[in-house]
Structure 1
Amino acid sequence: MEVVAAILGSAVTEAGRSLCGSFPSIKNFISLQSNLSALEKEKKSLVDLKNKVIEDVDYSSDAQMTLWLREVEQIMLEVNSAQTGMTASNQKLCGCFFNCSEKYRLSKETTRMLKQIERLLKAGDIAVKMVRQNYLAKAVEHIPGPSIENQTTASQNLAKVMDLLHDDDVLRIGVWGMGGVGKTTLVQNLNNQLKGSSSMHQFGIVIWVTVSQHLDLKNVQIQLAERLNLNASMEESVQRLAIKLHQRLQKEKFLLILDDVWEPIDLDSLGVPQSKDHNGSKIILTSRSLEVCRETKTDKEVKVDVLNDEESWKLFTVNAGKVATAEHIEPIARSVAKECSGLPLAITIVGSVMRGKTMIELWKDALNGLQRSVPNIRGIENKVYKPLKWSYDSLQGKNIKPCFLYCCLYPEDFSIDVNELVKFWVAEGLIDQQQNYEDSYNRGIALIENLKDSCLLEHGAHEGTVKMHDVVRDVAIWISSTMEDGCKSIVRSGIGLTRISEVEMSKSLKRVSFMNNRITNLPDCGICCPETMSLLLQGNCFLSRIPDGFLQAFESLKVLNLSETRIRSLPQSILQLGDIRILLLKKCFYLEELPQLGELSQLQVLDCSETSIRELPSGMKNLINLRQLYLSGTYNLKNHSKQDRIWIVWFGGSRHDIWCLCLGFEGRGK
């Protein structure tokens, strides 16, 4: 029995030892299961953080964030590999309770990976916060520029734009006006006023981008990215940048200001979410062209007009300083300021140039240069004329540029009759002469509207008229006088001349205007202008004679306007103008007879209204191209009974039909 007892005791003791030795294995098994659950949970947290970083944060320019992402990728590979190994081990060991060495190793491995993941989660949170602090852009960045304080007109325009920002139905706003009128200054002031304003509460960020004349889509995208603190480079494609910008802007309620837009912008190609699909965001663009605004699908347009006289003078004195209000200077200074015609850019440049100049002779010289459209004031050519010339350079369409330049032949502030203007364009071949009158007129109106939308023409003082802003006219004269081909012109209209300088009459001139002066005599010889197509001499009320040799100098003339002069007859040399299309003699009250005009076979328009002619010249039947004949107010014309009205007879549109025949009589001056 003692032997049996000893054997049993030994067996029990050994079993007890074995059982006690398994306690660490049980502990490891329980720890492994806990670690596996924790590992899966922490792994998911790390994956979520990584995805959030990739989606929300521009980490590419942050070395610390990039290193963190690499470490995350590495630990993910280790965890996935370990999980795959554990699955295989469990299947191999069939869950054997007493095979503890492998489970012990796996438990230690999961513990190590858990600590690594916990470290990465903590480091990731800190790095994200730091990157986001740099990533978040200021809501509004101050844009340096002149203030519009005390400028009533500009302040009213600013209020209009502010009101439109609060209008839920207006998503895109166009601010347009001629170059130098203050569009950029207006939106700069709007941008700066939004900082700290209650209006800013509706936007998360205001983004300012300068587009400029030659649209570079990638350059615009880079400006957008920099404002949003997004990393972008010129090496990236436009499409890639658009995707990046779109993803970022979708998270924002933004106000995008696109300044100095010259052509319609495809916002999709740019990467800007469409406002209709992105509630609350708005876009403002500034342009010289109303057409550009409309083609960019603006909902409302605000036109920026020039300053009134009082505002102009205030702005001028701010730039010119106290010298402008000195007793002996102020009268001339006011005239100089007035020559700037309310254009802030011109007022600022001219005022700054004249600052501190106390000699009245310098002020008179400046005034003379401005009145003659000669850029003799330092800086005015580069800072005023050339920027405005960009509007001219951007004109697109056949012959629209020479059509625009034709308008500068008229005096300053002159309201140009649209019908007359279109006729002159047709005569010079700028509009297809083969079209019927209605089609030609419609084409002319389309060109005029295009020029008005580009702020190069304005409404005239009366219906059916247009005019040029004074500074725009100065630029047009400057362009015309410097062109070596095309439309080189001499413009001396409305400046009180009493004679024509033969020295100025060069062979390359295409257009000549001495209208509305006080010229009494014309040179009989000594000039040669074989390429001139238009000669405007109307409004010289003291001019009584056209020398025979004078017209011989203009062999290619197509338009001759002698209206409102005192001429009594026309020289025989007019018959040598075989290419003339338009001859205007309106209100030549002393004109009693005309030469035989039958040789002028290309003549299309003849206006003899309110003259004293007694009979129509012989050979009129040979004027096979005559389309318009005006005879109203010809009291002395034989074989016509007096009427109190004008008869206008319209015939068909074929080339050989008369378009307009104006007969009858009406009181002078009506």
Structure 2
Amino acid sequence: MSRTNSSVKKYRKKKKKRERSRMEILIAIAGKVVDCMVEPVKQWLCYSIHYNSNIESMKKQVEKLRDARDRVQHSVDAAIRNGEEIEGDVKNWLKEADGIIELVRKDSEGEEEEKRKCCNGTFLNLKLRHQLSQKAKKIVQDIDKALEIGKFDKVSYHPPQHGIVTTRCRDYVDSESRMSTVKRLMEALRDDNIHLIGVWGMAGVGKTTLVREVANQAKQENLFVEVPIVNVTETPDHKQIQIDIACVLGLQLDVESSVTGRAIRLRERLTKTKDKKMILVILDDICEYLDLEKIGIPSEGCKVLLTSRNRDVLVQAMSTEKDFGLEVLGEEEAWSLFEKMAGDCVNKDNMRSTATEVAKACAGLPLALVTVSKALKNKSLNEWKDALQLLRRPATRNLPRMQSPIYSSIELSYSHLESEEVKYFFLRCAQMHFSIYHQDLLKYCYGLGSFHGINTLEEARHRLDRLVGNLKDSCLLLDCPDHGSKEFHTHMHSVVRRVARLIASKDHNMITVREDDGLKERLDVDSLKSCKEFSISGGDFHELPNGVEYCPELRFLHVYGGDRPLQISDTFFEGMGKLQVLDFTEMQLPALPSSLGLLRNLQTLCLDQCVLGDIAIIGELKNLVILSLMNSNISQLPREIGLLTHLRLLDLSNCSKLEVIPPNVLSRLEALEELYMGNNFVQWEAEKLNNASLVELKHLSHLTTLEIDIRDASNLPKDFLFKKLERYVIFVGDVWDRSYKREVSKTLKLKLNESFQSEVGIKMLLKRTESLYLDELKGVKSAWKKYAMANFPAT
């Protein structure tokens, strides 16, 4: 029994314990339930209670956001005006800010609407108050976050300026010559072994247009990742060139840092590119040497394309590995460009012929073709005709709009010539005809003393060759297409010549009157009084313009008479005491004016292609150093010529009627350096009885140039030695074609008969001969024949 009671007690005790545990669990659960129910109610009541403060806080914060948004937008607007790109996170922030502001606006409008519906707008129901208050607090939190994010240091960046366009330049025309050059340029750009390329040509020939077309094609072919094109100014600024290149590449350079510091950064950018593709840097219009390393352009790792008006700048100074010369357009190519720029108006029946003449007057120069065609587009026929007259005549000081850019670009090339000497030489070339004969230049410039530090004609000839080369490299002189030998002739582009004559007239008192110039009528005494050089030719005149004889400052006078008699008074030269060079070409001069003898300072006298009578007065010109009678009809050389003991050059070439040269005239010209007697005098005598003898030439110890025609080899003296000869054209024998033309230096044509005695002298010349012609060698020793055949096997 006791065990039973004990078990019951234990059971009841455990049961109570379990009931207590369940109660505790129920109480705990109930507490949790109460907690879960109270907190939402509490929060719900909190939103409702703080409704006004949450709404007010939202309104204040949204005003702050609106102000911040406006500040950022102002910065964005300024950046866009500066051509900058806006950062992506700035764009996103503005979009987000606009969204928040718009949300607040809509919520405010919704609140006002609900107020009107509830209790006449006095109260909102508790549910709506809770919703609006809760939303307002969330918006405030979003605004706080947006305000923190919107504190931008900068809102934009400078985008890379690619420097090229993918559309073709409007001024470019697909001409055969240009397409060929573009093709060869593209081949050079693809060549991994070529890094520095040059394009040169005269001002206005289209270098910039061409390289931009090349850049366009390179872009289309995806040859380079970037192609910055920078125009190099007249006075190169390394800092500005660096900044211009960096701007295109999107590289930020510290403008306050040193040139070297910027160069290091630029060099790194030019050599570090994506996909191992190079950058092509185009530097347009280089006028002088440019230190690429100093700028930051490496010799490897990128490619460089340079343009210049001066070939020497590219080839010599910049050491380009490949260079391309750009010529003016041919007639068909020029018309194609002109027609493209001028439009359909040039093809109207009443316009075509005039438009064609205007295009021809531009002489194939692209800048002139584009400028003139644009200026005349859709203009009347009378305006076209007036423009044609302007283009054909020398420009005035007040240039028309269509001429100004053409003249300015060429004048810039002139201003960059290396010295005053070469500048004057350029202007002197412009006073001459289309074909510029180098021998004439030598006669003029030596007589004027234009070559500084020069004494002999040989030195002057070297200087002339250098100056001609300089102007060719600057594209201001061109090889003459009408002559096979570039050694003796060049020419100047007609547009360049017009600019040069304008400069010469304006700045150097050099007046040139040509046919259709219209200047002869406008010449006045005042302009002639200050005139230093005067040239007149081509017009139908029978006397010189009034006032020419009153030129106290005149140093140079050239009159091209056109094979007509010209009235010149005996006193004509009395007022020209400073005259140094006088050239009367293709004139009929029965007698020279007596006042010619007064020209004590005259250094050069040219009477080429003239019909001459008595010229004995020339003997009074004691200081004369150059006398040229080339192609004149003179039959007897006056004995008075022997008085010209300072004479250094005597040109009698092609004076086919010359039969008499008195004995002992040539031998007295001991200062003579150059003697030209090709295709003229052949009446050489052995004993100096009635005519000159070849023996007299032995006295000309300074002779460096000789052109002579010896019909009879027996007249050659035994000691016919000319050790100083640098150039010679010697014909011996009676079988040679006597039609006169300038031969290459050191030409010898021989037909030697049995009485030939000057073997030693001829052999000495033979050792230096460049061009040898042989007909017969009768009586010549076999050893000498073997020597000739061995050294000239093709003769």
Classify the TM-score, shorter chain. Answer: 0.7 to 0.9
CA contact (8 A) 2:163 2:248 kept: no
Is 1:237 paired with 2:253? no
Counterpart selection for 1:305 from 299, 307, 327: 327
Distance 1:494 1:640, change over 3 A: farther
Corresponding position of 1:476: 500
Question: TM-score, normalized by length of structure 2?
Answer: 0.61
Counterpart selection for 2:465 from 440, 445, 464: 445
Distance 1:428 1:332, change over 3 A: same
The CA distance in 2 between the partners of 1:634 and 1:141, in whole Å, is: 64
CA contact (8 A) 1:369 1:377 kept: no
Q: Which moved more, 1:529-538 or 1:369-378?
A: 369-378
Counterpart selection for 2:375 from 330, 338, 353: 353
Identity of aligned residues (%): 31
Corresponding position of 2:441: 421
Is 1:286 paired with 2:278? no
Corresponding position of 2:361: 339
Count residues with an aligned counterpart: 530
Letter in 1 for 2:251: L
Distance 1:646 1:326, change over 3 A: farther
Is 1:364 paired with 2:409? no
Alignment of 1:260-659 (within 5 A): 260-275=285-300, 278=301, 281-294=302-315, 295-359=317-381, 361-374=382-395, 378-411=400-433, 414-432=434-452, 434-460=454-480, 461-462=482-483, 463=485, 464-483=488-507, 487-495=508-516, 502-503=523-524, 505-523=527-545, 527-588=549-610, 590-632=611-653, 633=655, 635-639=657-661, 657=702
The CA distance in 1 between the partners of 2:489 and 2:225, in whole Å, is: 47
Distance 1:496 1:345, change over 3 A: closer
Cα-to-partner distance string for 1:172-222 (whole Å, 9 max, x where unaligned) = 11011011111000111111222231xx24x33222221122111110000
Q: CA deviation at 1:481?
A: 1.7
CA contact (8 A) 1:541 1:564 kept: yes
Corresponding position of 1:160: 184
The CA distance in 1 between the partners of 2:351 and 2:696, in whole Å, is: 61
Distance 1:669 1:494, change over 3 A: farther
Structure 1 segments unaligned to the other structure (5+ residues) = 1-60, 66-130
The CA distance in 1 between the partners of 2:231 and 2:547, in whole Å, is: 55
The CA distance in 1 between the partners of 2:454 and 2:574, in whole Å, is: 28
Q: CA deviation at 1:161?
A: 0.4
Counterpart selection for 2:267 from 237, 240, 246: 246
Letter in 2 for 1:537: V
Cα-to-partner distance string for 1:208-246 (whole Å, 9 max, x where unaligned) = 221122111110000111112111243222111111112
Distance 1:333 1:219, change over 3 A: same
Q: CA deviation at 1:580?
A: 1.1
The CA distance in 2 between the partners of 1:241 and 1:421, in whole Å, is: 49
Q: CA deviation at 1:459?
A: 0.7
CA contact (8 A) 2:524 2:547 kept: no
Q: CA deviation at 1:433?
A: 6.8
The CA distance in 2 between the partners of 1:393 and 1:491, in whole Å, is: 21
Corresponding position of 1:185: 209
Q: CA deviation at 1:415?
A: 0.9
Cα-to-partner distance string for 1:283-313 (whole Å, 9 max, x where unaligned) = 1001111011111110111111111111211
Structure 2 segments unaligned to the other structure (5+ residues) = 1-84, 90-153, 664-676, 685-693, 711-736, 742-795
Q: CA deviation at 1:602?
A: 1.9
Distance 1:180 1:499, change over 3 A: closer
CA contact (8 A) 2:163 2:227 kept: yes
Q: Which of the two has higher C-alpha Rg?
A: 2
Letter in 1 for 2:613: E
Letter in 1 for 2:177: T
Distance 1:141 1:239, change over 3 A: same
CA contact (8 A) 2:592 2:617 kept: no
CA contact (8 A) 2:86 2:157 kept: no
Secondary structure (helix, strand or coil) at the match of 1:541 reads strand
Letter in 2 for 1:218: K
Secondary structure (helix, strand or coil) at the match of 2:197 reads strand
Secondary structure (helix, strand or coil) at the match of 1:456 reads coil
The CA distance in 1 between the partners of 2:696 and 2:324, in whole Å, is: 43
The CA distance in 2 between the partners of 1:446 and 1:188, in whole Å, is: 33
Corresponding position of 2:245: 224
Is 1:208 paired with 2:229? yes
Letter in 1 for 2:226: I
Letter in 2 for 1:594: I
Q: CA deviation at 1:393?
A: 0.3
Q: CA deviation at 1:342?
A: 0.7
The CA distance in 1 between the partners of 2:320 and 2:162, in whole Å, is: 24
CA contact (8 A) 2:204 2:406 kept: yes
CA contact (8 A) 1:524 1:550 kept: no
Cα-to-partner distance string for 1:628-657 (whole Å, 9 max, x where unaligned) = 1123425254357999567999999x9994
Secondary structure (helix, strand or coil) at the match of 1:562 reads strand
Secondary structure (helix, strand or coil) at the match of 2:358 reads helix
The CA distance in 2 between the partners of 1:582 and 1:606, in whole Å, is: 6
The CA distance in 1 between the partners of 2:403 and 2:259, in whole Å, is: 36
CA contact (8 A) 1:624 1:656 kept: no
Cα-to-partner distance string for 1:329-370 (whole Å, 9 max, x where unaligned) = 2111111110101111111111111111223x3222211111
CA contact (8 A) 1:246 1:273 kept: yes
CA contact (8 A) 2:160 2:249 kept: yes
Letter in 2 for 1:468: M
Is 1:142 paired with 2:148? no
Letter in 2 for 1:142: V
The CA distance in 1 between the partners of 2:164 and 2:738, in whole Å, is: 66
Cα-to-partner distance string for 1:407-459 (whole Å, 9 max, x where unaligned) = 11123xx1111122122112111114742221110011001100000000001
Q: CA deviation at 1:560?
A: 1.2
Q: CA deviation at 1:160?
A: 1.2
Q: Which moved more, 1:225-234 or 1:542-551?
A: 542-551
Q: Which moved more, 1:348-357 or 1:138-147?
A: 138-147
Cα-to-partner distance string for 1:567-613 (whole Å, 9 max, x where unaligned) = 2221111111111111111221x212103223312211111234343
Alignment of 1:93-132 (within 5 A): none
Distance 1:609 1:468, change over 3 A: closer
CA contact (8 A) 1:609 1:630 kept: yes
The CA distance in 1 between the partners of 2:548 and 2:303, in whole Å, is: 64
Distance 1:147 1:476, change over 3 A: closer
CA contact (8 A) 2:679 2:740 kept: no
CA contact (8 A) 2:657 2:680 kept: no
Corresponding position of 2:752: none
Letter in 1 for 2:475: C
Secondary structure (helix, strand or coil) at the match of 2:428 reads helix
Letter in 1 for 2:460: S
Q: CA deviation at 1:63?
A: 12
